[in-house]
Amino acid sequence: MATFLFAWNPKYWNWPELAAQRRVLAKKGYVDVQWASGATRQIEPGSRAFMVRLGVPPKGLIGAGSTMTAPVEGPHWREDHKLKRTTTLHLWIRFDTLFDAPVVTMDDLAVPPYSRFRWATRASGVRIPSNVADAAETLWERKVAAFNDAAKRAKIAGAKRASGPR
């Protein structure tokens, strides 16, 4: 199955639902999010999806999941475009991981083989070449596991400090 990159730029939209969606993901193990797919119509349900944060530091990959639907036309997500009755393509993504800040940074992606792809895209729904997608998947899994291990160690350390000396 193909892998696609979806972009979020806080300069244009602050994603007010992100914290609530992350809480849903923590409880259910996934969260479904409707997202614009740019001009790309050829995204099949079940395709791999990565979310990249752009525009405002920190920049990099913040989420991963799978597309649930093919793109369909609907109202544009930006208010100024909605007023002009501009439409765009949307689809649903089921995220199994979603963070506030990048787990894989743009510095991580600036070296081969990842640097063979333009991660700082201006639009969502960009197909990632298979060889780069495979390498990015391995990097993503390694970075998420390291993040989760560090979070678990911090939680244990905090619990030990809270219980005080014995």
Dump pLDDT digits (tens) for 113-146: 999 999 999 889 999 999 999 999 999 999 999 9
DSSP H helical ranges for 71-129: 79-83, 106-109
| Reported confidence tier of residue 77, pLDDT bands at 50, 70, 90 | low
11 pLDDT more than 60? yes
Q: How far apart are CA 147 and CA 12, in angstroms?
A: 28
Tell how many helices (H) and how many strands (E) occur in the chain.
4, 8
More confident residue, 88 or 61: 61
Mean pLDDT score of the chain, rounded to an integer?
Answer: 90
82 pLDDT more than 60? no
User: Which of 16, 10, 72 is CA-nearest to residue 40?
Assistant: 72
**β-strands 126-128, 72-75: how paired?**
unpaired
77 near 8, Cβ under 8 Å?
no
Which pTM was predicted? 0.89
Q: How far apart are CA 20 and CA 65, in angstroms?
A: 17
More confident residue, 110 or 77: 110
First to last CA, the chain: 54
Task: Record the tokens describing residue 158, joined without a space.
Answer: 């905090």
111 near 139, Cβ under 8 Å?
no
| Concatenated DSSP letters of 120-141 | S-SSS-EEEPHHHHHHHHHHHH
- Average of per-residue pLDDT across 77-90: 68
32 pLDDT more than 60? yes
Q: Which residues have C-beta within 8 Å of that of residue 77, sequence separation ≥ 6?
A: 13, 36, 88, 90
CA distances from 22 to 37, 59, 97, 129 (A): 21, 18, 8, 28
